[in-house]
Amino acid sequence: MSQPTYDDANLLLKLYELRREPKMRDARNWFFGNFKCKTMAEFGQLCPPGSEPNAYFRQVASYWDMAGSFVNSGVMNPDLFFANTREVLFVWERVKPILGEVRAAFKDPHYLGNLEKAGKACAEWVSKTSGEEAYKAFTARVG
């Protein structure tokens, strides 16, 4: 892996700053406390189109999909990114159970593809750097 650069650090700080924006903070708080859907039916009940929960879901999911695209494309050093945020992994673990159904419903096989790729890479990174038990403990907390 390449050495992180000042540009990596500056991008990471910018991503952190964006996470602190009031609407984004509201969306993240809602997502962390409420989004535990296991089926598309549960998703439809929790996040009906046009609702505030739907907007919160889209804001959080699209933010981490965008952040994941930086890692996946090589713009951001993955080790630096994963060492400084497990939130991408948290969001991935919460979205993972319904992603196939959501993609089918949206007729978009690549929906949240960057989140998926970055989430899986973060899971591997946690397992590699902290051990498989750390990853298992993390997923148990996310439950």
pLDDT digit string (tens) for 7-22? Answer: 999 999 999 999 999 9
Q: What is the DSSP letter of 49?
A: T
Half-sphere exposure of residue 57: CA atoms within 13 angstroms, side-chain side: 22
- Give the span between the Cα atoms of 80 and 90, in whole angstroms: 17
H or E element in which residue 92 lies? helix 87-106
Q: Find out whether 63 and 55 touch, Cβ atoms under 8 Å.
A: no
Residue 2 has pLDDT above 90, yes or no: no
Taking only the tens place, the pLDDT of each residue in 33-66 is: 999 999 999 999 999 999 999 999 999 999 999 9
Q: In the prediction, which pLDDT does 93 show?
A: 98
- Give the span between the Cα atoms of 19 and 48, in whole angstroms: 24
Half-sphere exposure of residue 87: CA atoms within 13 angstroms, side-chain side: 18
Model confidence at 77, pLDDT cuts 50, 70, 90, reads: very high
Q: What is the pTM (predicted TM-score) of this model? A: 0.94
- Give the span between the Cα atoms of 137 and 109, in whole angstroms: 30
Residue 1 has pLDDT above 90, yes or no: no
Model confidence at 137, pLDDT cuts 50, 70, 90, reads: very high
Q: In the prediction, which pLDDT does 143 show?
A: 79
Structure tokens at 136: 């298992």
Please, what is the end-to-end C-alpha distance for the chain in angstroms? 31
Q: In the prediction, which pLDDT does 128 show?
A: 96
